[in-house]
């Protein structure tokens, strides 16, 4: 399973790249706003230079023509830009056009398996089911991912599933068990993946025993 980092923070992207856990990046307008980004295009270019993997940049327009225009502009920023389009009817129409031009589209804000099916039929390279936000409504977000994967397998779609809106390591575990292609993970959750209290305790004991023996 590939790891994308779900952030627009340059330092986090650099650090993740340093660990070798960087197969791509996903941004969205909220993540850009959190970093107080003014020059969006420049920021996307900077991120694209830090990874050879896909970097999702989201459109702001909500009508098909506007999304296509913005998508073309974003795609021209770097060869590894993936254009993020919302899963709406105009978004699906724009997805069809941009995908036919060879642009990788990431269909975002996906909350049901049939929405994912529509994105795949519209030629999306990626589909992003939001598991954390769905969990918050009392629905099992990862169940949706499992269903999306079954549908894609049934029909041989090549659209890749990016498990998004990840809140904790269990989402990553279930994504891997389900065979999701990609998980886009906030940096804090990447840290949590490495952490285990028994690892810390075991290390302390090893070092204390070593010291006793050598002291
Ligand atoms: C995915 O590409 C999105 O950026 C992201 O995972 C949104 O998740 P959130 O629910 O943490 O905002």
- pLDDT, tens digit (0-9, with 9 covering 90-100), for 165-174: 999 999 999 9
pLDDT at 2 over 80: yes
Nearest to 83 by CA among 112, 120, 58: 58
Give the Å distance between the CA of 177 and the centre of ligand 1: 21
pLDDT at 215 over 90: no
Average pLDDT of the chain to the nearest whole number: 97
pLDDT at 21 over 90: no
Write the residue with the smallest CA distance to atom 11 of ligand 1.
Answer: 165
The rounded distance, in Å, linking the Cα atoms of 189 and 168 is: 6
Task: Give the DSSP H or E segment for 121.
Answer: helix 113-121
Structure confidence at residue 135 (pLDDT): 98
Structure confidence at residue 52 (pLDDT): 93
Confidence of residue 108 (pLDDT cuts 50, 70, 90): very high
Instruction: Please report the sign of the dihedral spanned by the C-alpha atoms of residue 120, residue 166, residue 192, residue 170.
Output: negative
Pocket test for ligand 1, best of 12, 33, 130, 131 (most atoms within 8 A of CB): 130
Task: Give the DSSP H or E segment for 175.
Answer: helix 169-178
Domain 2-214 belongs in CATH node 3.20.20.70? yes
- Say if CB 119 and CB 85 are below 8 A apart: no
Give residues (CB < 6 A) around ligand 1. 6, 26, 28, 56, 108, 128, 130, 132-133, 164-165, 184
Confidence of residue 214 (pLDDT cuts 50, 70, 90): confident
Structure confidence at residue 182 (pLDDT): 98
Write the residue with the smallest CA distance to atom 7 of ligand 1.
Answer: 165
Give the Å distance between the CA of 200 and the centre of ligand 1: 30
Give the Å distance between the CA of 7 and the centre of ligand 1: 9
Structure confidence at residue 19 (pLDDT): 92
pLDDT at 96 over 90: yes
Q: 153: helix, coil or strand?
A: helix
Extract the runs of DSSP E, i.e. beta strands, from the chain. Answer: 2-6, 24-26, 55-58, 81-86, 105-110, 126-129, 160-163, 182-185
Name the residues annotated as catalytic: 84
């Amino acid at each position: 399973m590939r790891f994308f980092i779900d952030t627009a923070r340059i330092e986090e992207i650099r650090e993740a790249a340093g660990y070798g856990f960087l197969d791509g990046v996903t941004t969205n307008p909220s993540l850009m706003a959190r970093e107080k980004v003014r020059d969006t295009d420049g920021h996307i270019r900077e991120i694209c230079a830090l990874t050879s993997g896909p970097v999702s940049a989201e459109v702001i327009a909500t009508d098909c023509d506007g999304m296509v225009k913005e998508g073309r502009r974003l795609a021209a920023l770097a060869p590894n830009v993936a254009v993020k389009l919302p899963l709406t009817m105009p978004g699906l129409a724009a997805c069809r056009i941009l995908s036919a031009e060879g642009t990788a589209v990431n269909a975002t804000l996906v909350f049901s398996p049939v929405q994912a099916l529509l994105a795949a039929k519209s030629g999306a390279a990626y589909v992003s089911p939001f598991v954390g936000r769905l969990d918050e409504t009392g629905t099992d977000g990862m169940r949706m991912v499992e269903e999306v994967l079954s549908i894609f397998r049934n029909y041989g779609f090549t659209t890749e599933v990016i498990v998004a809106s990840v809140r904790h390591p269990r989402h990553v575990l279930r994504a891997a068990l389900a065979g999701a292609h990609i998980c886009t993970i906030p940096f804090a959750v990447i840290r949590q993946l490495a952490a285990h209290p028994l690892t810390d305790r075991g290390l302390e004991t090893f070092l204390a025993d070593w010291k006793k023996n050598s002291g």
